[in-house]
Structures are given as C-alpha cells and as structure tokens.
Chain A
Amino acid sequence: MNGGVVVVGASAGGLSALEILLTELGANFPAPVIVTKHLASGDEEGLCKVLSKSSPLTVNIACDKQKVTGNHVYLAPGGYHLQIEDKETLSLSIDEQVCHSRPSVDVLFQSAADVFGTQMVGILLTGANKDGAEGIKAVKEAGGATIVQNPETAEVPIMPKSAIATGCVDHVLDLSDIAICLKAMSFNLGPK
C-alpha cells in the first residue's frame, strides 16, 4: 500500500462512538483504520463482534506483523500495545502500561507519526483518561492532521479535553462530522 492511514483512540464510552464513526465511514473508505480502545485482555472479541455487525468495513483484531489494507479496521487486543511497524505492517508489544493502559493510544499514535508523517489522520474520541494527548502532539509535529471529538457531545469529555489543551488539534467535531471530514480527507489517504 502506498497511501496513508487513519488512527483512532478511545476509552470510556468508546464502543458506541466507534460504532457510529465506523458505520458512517461507509464501505468504500480507502485507507486502513487502526483503532486503540482501552479494554481488558479478552474483551477485544466482543468489541470486534459488535463493530463487525454495524460497520460495512471489515473489522479484525490485530495480530503481530499483520499486513494492513484499505477498507479494513484493525483493533488493538487487550493487554498489548498496538503499533505501526512500517507502511504495510502492524506490530504488538507488551511493554509497560502508558497512562495506566495497555493498549495505549499514545503508543499507537507515536508509532504512526514516525512511519506516516503527513500521510495520516489522528482521531481521539470519548474517554476518562489523558492517554492520547501526547500522541496527538506527535501526529501534529510529524505533519499529520488531528481531529478530536467535541467534548460537549462526547460521553466522557476528559480525553478530548486533554488533547485540545495541547494546542495541537486541527478540528473539534461531533461524531458524524468527523466521518464527513475523514471522507473528504480520504482522497489524500487512499492508495496512489
């Protein structure tokens, strides 16, 4: 794949937010969508089932050294950090927790920023934890685009608010507007 990537972070309240976002993206979204939602080891199976049912995209639980493609969603398994290894490949680690979490959104976003630079969008949704704020900063510094869910309409506002406080957020939007914005940006993200 020669395109870009979308990385998404979420915590408390993330299940329904992800359901809405991944449904509204539609079946033809060209870039891979890599998702880290905080969850306990084993809970990824349930999340994957729910999202598979609602989203027209193909939803997988990420494996180590798995290749990514467009129209697919990859979920971080509980107990592992999910990272972007190179433009085609994911990797896992069980390094120490970051912001009391493994998987951590910061770890995913920092690794994505390293590999994709300007060719990426980082999105942070609802959550009760400041994980993701450092990640948003890394994405911005590498030249990527950053979007955060509107804290006023997010189920739990702490995660989006912490990200906004870094001053590195390009857009603050409601869920359905995030999907529209992503589709508009996707012309720059698909395979070239």
Chain B
Amino acid sequence: MTESRDTDQDFELKLLLLAVQEKYGYQFGNYARASLMRRVRRHMQISGVQHISDLIPLFLHDEPAFAAFVKDMSVVVTEMFRDPEFFKSLRENIIPLLKTYPFIKVWHAGCASGQEAYSMAILLDEEGLLDRCQIYATDFNDQALRHARTGIYPEEDMALYEENYRLAGGKTELSKYCHRGYDSVKFNGRLAEHITFANHNLVTDGVFGEMNLILCRNVLIYFNQDLQDRVLQLLFDSLCSRGVLCIGKRENILFSAIDDHLEVTDRNQRIYRKTS
C-alpha cells in the first residue's frame, strides 16, 4: 500500500516537472526532493487537488498559477550580515588578501533581495576597498532582483541587522549607511553604484567572468547532490587563480569533485581557496 503510493508519487512528480520544463524551460528535476515536495503539496492544497498529476493541466494552462509556483520555488529568506562570524572571518582572513589586488571582482550567486551584497559593499568600504570593487549579485528571481535594486528594507528588521553588523566586527553603526524613512530604510546609493544586479540561473546559465571572491550561500541546499556538483563546478570555473569560494555554514563541498582543488581557509565558516 505504502510502497505503491511512493512509486506513484515519484512517477507523478517526474511527469509534472517534465511538463513544466517542456512548456516553460524551468529545470526543477534536480532540486532537493524534500523541499520540492513541500512546495508541490502546498500548491495541491491551494488548488484543492488530490494528486500531483492534477497540477499538470493547471500549470500548463493557468500561467499565473505556474508563476506562483516558480515564485515559491525561490526562497528569498535572507539578512544583512547573516552568520556574523562568517563576515568576521572574511574581514580577518580574506580582506588582507584582497588588498593585494589592483581590482576586485565579487560574485554573489543567489543574492535573493540583496542584503548579502549590501553587507559586502559595507565591509569593503570600511576596509578602503570599495572604490576598486565590482560586485555582481545574481538570482533567477526577477522580483527579488527588483527589490534588491531598491536597497529598501523594513525598519523592523534593522535591530537584527545592527546586531549582526556589530557581531561581524562592524566599525561604526549600520544606520550610517542608510536613510530612515517612515517604516523602512534605504541603503546609500554609493554602495549600490558598485553592485550590478542581474538575472542568472545557476542550473542553465554558465560562467560570465573571472572572480576573485564568490559567495553562494544557502542556495546549494535546494539542489540534490548531482546538481550541487554541477553548480559547484560552475562556481569553481568562475574563480580566478587562487580565488576564494564561500558556501553556507551548513553546506558541504566534501562530497564534490572540486574538493581536491580547494584548500581550507576557515572550515567552520566554509571559506575555501582555489589551490592553483
């Protein structure tokens, strides 16, 4: 009974993802299964259907319903200076290295609504590096990118951001970098001048430049092992010689082929350097 339910589920899921790929070009086949199933279930609930396969005609003929699903597949949960110890380690271990370069290129892959990229711009500014930096911040979610470009975030999140900034070794106060509005804050245009926000899909798009520093944090968790390997290879190929790669605090490169070509700078904070 349970056995057959499981196989039916797998079968239906495969068909659904195939239909989505054929019609819209999105490849979700190698997304991590548990998270994917949560989303599919939620859309079955919203639409009041009983079987996964019932979503096929819905997604094919009702584009807004599919758009809602895609939006759901992109989890835009982020913070300024998320995992402050990570930013602290960057400041201590990687900034001195970046200071030796005449020009620095940074890539945030999966930047969501942009807080991580603004955090980086602030860090680089405090270390006197911002003026010789270009930050590329990419995501496959256009709505998140539009938000990121505004640099406007809810006032109510500022207490957490201030605390993170302080724990990350911030040199002044975060509020120095933004203007307060009525119930929101807007980060200085001076920071945004050094950031290019662009659409890039890690599953289907390729290398677009040689980076000195790449951050891809809390994105790999949404991919299965095969896709993680492929995306890690893409990130690796985008690094300049001796470039730095950072992944999320609870993510792993241990099982990937590129592990042999990276040396550890900070294991706990998942900071690595290309060996050649």
A interface, CB within 8 angstroms of B: 41, 61-66, 77, 80, 83-86, 89, 91-96, 107, 110-111, 114-115, 117-118, 142-143
CB <8 Å contact, A118 and B2:
yes
A78 to B182, CA, bound (A): 32
Tell me the minimal C-beta distance from B44 to chain A in angstroms: 13
Residues B13-47 near A (CB distance < 8 A): 32-35, 37-38
Tell me the minimal C-beta distance from A97 to chain B in angstroms: 9
Contact partner, A83, options B34, B220, B250, Cβ 8 Å: B34
Counting chain B residues whose Cβ lies within 8 A of the other chain, the interface size class is 20 to 34
Residues B30-78 near A (CB distance < 8 A): 32-35, 37-38, 75, 77
CB <8 Å contact, B34 and A65:
no
CB <8 Å contact, A65 and B77:
no
User: Can you pick out 16 interface pairs between chain A and chain B where the beta carbons lie within 8 Å of each other?
Assistant: A64-B251, A65-B32, A77-B249, A80-B250, A85-B34, A91-B32, A92-B221, A92-B250, A93-B34, A94-B75, A94-B218, A110-B38, A115-B34, A117-B2, A117-B6, A143-B2
A80 to B218, CA, bound (A): 10
A115 to B38, CA, bound (A): 13
Chain B residues with Cβ below 8 Å from A117 are 2, 6
CB <8 Å contact, B77 and A95:
yes
CB <8 Å contact, A91 and B250:
no
| 8 A-B pairs with least C-beta separation | A83-B34, A117-B2, A111-B34, A93-B35, A64-B221, A94-B77, A92-B221, A64-B251
Give the residue name and chain of the A residue nearest to B37 (CB): A114
CB <8 Å contact, A107 and B38:
yes
A86 to B34, CA, bound (A): 8
Chain B residues with Cβ below 8 Å from A80 are 221, 250
A91 to B34, CA, bound (A): 8
Chain A residues with Cβ below 8 Å from B38 are 93, 95, 107, 110-111
Tell me the minimal C-beta distance from B246 to chain A in angstroms: 15
Give the residue name and chain of the B residue nearest to A116 (CB): B2
B138 interfacial contact with A, CB 8 Å: no
Tell me the minimal C-beta distance from B163 to chain A in angstroms: 11
Q: A93-B75, A93-B222, A95-B75 are in contact. List 12 more A-B contacts (CB 8 A).
A: A61-B250, A64-B221, A64-B250, A65-B252, A83-B35, A86-B33, A91-B33, A91-B35, A93-B34, A111-B38, A114-B34, A115-B34
CB <8 Å contact, A142 and B221:
no
Tell me the minimal C-beta distance from A177 to chain B in angstroms: 28
Residues B237-266 near A (CB distance < 8 A): 248-252, 255
CB <8 Å contact, B77 and A84:
no
CB <8 Å contact, B77 and A64:
no
Given known pairs A62-B250, A143-B2, the reply for A85 and B33 (CB within 8 Å) is: yes
Residues B173-228 near A (CB distance < 8 A): 218, 220-222, 224-225, 228
A91 to B37, CA, bound (A): 13
Contact partner, B252, options A64, A84, A96, Cβ 8 Å: A64
Tell me the minimal C-beta distance from A24 to chain B in angstroms: 29
Instruction: Identify which of A62, A83, A92 gathers the most chain B CB atoms within 10 Å of its CB.
Output: A92
Give the residue name and chain of the B residue nearest to A117 (CB): B2
A1 to B2, CA, bound (A): 19
A41 to B32, CA, bound (A): 23
Chain A residues with Cβ below 8 Å from B221 are 64, 80, 91-94
CB <8 Å contact, B77 and A142:
no
A142 to B38, CA, bound (A): 16
A85 to B34, CA, bound (A): 5
Chain B residues with Cβ below 8 Å from A84 are 34
A64 to B255, CA, bound (A): 11
CB <8 Å contact, B252 and A63:
yes
Given known pairs A91-B35, A94-B221, the reply for A77 and B6 (CB within 8 Å) is: no
CB <8 Å contact, B75 and A63:
no
Chain B residues with Cβ below 8 Å from A86 are 33
A46 to B38, CA, bound (A): 30
Tell me the minimal C-beta distance from B199 to chain A in angstroms: 21
Chain B residues with Cβ below 8 Å from A64 are 220-221, 248, 250-252
A96 to B34, CA, bound (A): 15
Tell me the minimal C-beta distance from A121 to chain B in angstroms: 15
